[in-house]
Structure 1
Amino acid sequence: MNLMIEWIYKSKNGTEVVFHSDYMPAAHALTIGEDIEKLGRAKNLTYIDQHDSTWMAKEIKKYLKEMETEPHNVKVYFDGGYDIQTKQAGLGVVIYYEQNGKWYRMRRNAPAQGLDSNNEAEYAALHLSIVELELLDVHHQEVTFIGDSQVVINQMTGEWPAYEKELANWADRIDEKLKSLGITPQFELVPRKLNSEADRLATQSLQGIDITGQIELQEE
């Protein structure tokens, strides 16, 4: 979770000015906020998240304590494949996360019916990744979503408009799901070779190979 600090600075002659910080990780915001308060010239110091919700210092400390035992530092790789001949789609998702001081990798693929294009398959893979995040109990934090689909990444970031109704519906559904989980997404477009794990899972799904698994990693 990223937070912005808002506070009123009162000068020696009584002049007051409102200051806002940039958004920063919650732990950093708490440290800086406590330092600001020690100066003795700040009042009404408030922490605000990217959903415009306000937080008290004790709530942030509780959140940070809970996050030690919950999945965090989450990165998601997703990919979708579509076979024009059979009209079948395969979805692949790889999730890396930290929990209790250890790093894990979760892999999942799945077939999908009723899709009409590779772009829909890519959106379906992104949606599947968010469903998996919910099952992992990932919430109220920033998550990086990495894919090789220019259409999906650029439409989800607002760089490109979604003119096709089906794709717009997928984007809306994903936005609603992210909002309900309190997840702030960061989307990253990469070449296909850097998305090989998710691509392979999607291909294996099209081949009828089901994969679901989680392992602990020795290194990040």
Structure 2
Amino acid sequence: MKLILEWTYKTPKGAVAVLRSEAMTPAQALMIAEDIEKTGRVQSLEIIDEYDSTWMIKELKKYLKEMETEPHHITIYFDGGFDIQTKASGLGVAIYYEKDGKSFRLRHNAYTAGLDSNNEAEYAALHLALVELDLMDVHHQTVRIIGDSQVVINQLNGEWPAYEKTLSDWADKIENKLQALGLKAEYELVPRKENTEADRLATQALQGTEISGVIEIQS
């Protein structure tokens, strides 16, 4: 989640100016908001998120305290594989996150039938990752989504139109899931060689090897 501060500044002689910050993290916003209040020059101070909702300082403090014990700093790697001969698909996701001051990695894959293309399998893999976030109770924050599918990444970030109804439906499904969880996605397209973990998980799913688990990452 990114926040913007909107400060209505009032001088001792009554002159007023409205100052608006750049987007910043919740922790930065709280620190600066508390510092602004100490100036004694505040007519009003609003903390605004990406959905134009306004936060009070005490609400932001509570949110940050809860975030310490909940998964945050989420990065998703996803990949989908499709066997044109069998019409089978393998979905692979790797989710990196922090919780209680520690770093973790969740890996999960799935075999599925009924999809019609590799692009659809890529979308299904990303949706699988969002389902995992839902199960982890991840909500109201920004998540990085990394993949090597030009179609999925460019369609979801609005650079490419989704002319195929099947893919358009998947894009809507992804956006609806993000909205339901209160998540803002930052998409990143990478070369396949930088997405090998998710690719391997998708391949293993196609081969019938199921993988699901979480490990702590030692620094």
- TM-score > 0.5 by shorter chain: yes
Partner SS for 1:24: coil
Please report how far the alpha carbon of residue 194 of structure 1 lies from its aligned counterpart in structure 2 after TM superposition: 0.6
RMSD: 1.0
Please report how far the alpha carbon of residue 20 of structure 1 lies from its aligned counterpart in structure 2 after TM superposition: 1.5
Aligned to 2:17: 17
1:52-201 map, 5 Å:
52-201=52-201
1:32-47 map, 5 Å:
32-47=32-47
Deviations 1:83-132 (A, max 9, x none): 11111111000001111111111100001221111110000001000000
For structure 1, the 5+ residue unaligned runs are none
Partner SS for 1:2: coil
Distance in 1 of aligned mates of 2:94 and 2:169: 24
Given that 2:146 and 2:188 are in contact with CA atoms closer than 8 Å, whether structure 1 keeps it comes out as: yes
Please report how far the alpha carbon of residue 11 of structure 1 lies from its aligned counterpart in structure 2 after TM superposition: 3.1
Partner SS for 2:35: helix
TM-score by length of 1: 0.97
Deviations 1:155-176 (A, max 9, x none): 1110111111111111111111
After TM superposition, which residue ranges in structure 1, 4 or more long, deviate above 4 angstroms? none
Figure out how many residues of one structure are paired with residues of the other and give that number: 219
Please report how far the alpha carbon of residue 12 of structure 1 lies from its aligned counterpart in structure 2 after TM superposition: 4.0
Please report how far the alpha carbon of residue 51 of structure 1 lies from its aligned counterpart in structure 2 after TM superposition: 1.2
Task: Indicate the larger mover: 40-49 or 6-15.
Answer: 6-15
Distance in 2 of aligned mates of 1:15 and 1:163: 54
- Amino acid of the structure 2 residue aligned with 1:112: T
Please report how far the alpha carbon of residue 182 of structure 1 lies from its aligned counterpart in structure 2 after TM superposition: 0.8
Aligned to 1:203: 203
Given that 2:81 and 2:203 are in contact with CA atoms closer than 8 Å, whether structure 1 keeps it comes out as: yes
Identity %: 65
Deviations 1:157-205 (A, max 9, x none): 1011111111111111111110110111111111101100000000011
Please report how far the alpha carbon of residue 33 of structure 1 lies from its aligned counterpart in structure 2 after TM superposition: 1.1
Aligned to 2:3: 3
- Amino acid of the structure 1 residue aligned with 2:79: D
Given that 2:9 and 2:44 are in contact with CA atoms closer than 8 Å, whether structure 1 keeps it comes out as: no
- Amino acid of the structure 2 residue aligned with 1:41: R
TM-score by length of 2: 0.97
Please report how far the alpha carbon of residue 23 of structure 1 lies from its aligned counterpart in structure 2 after TM superposition: 1.3
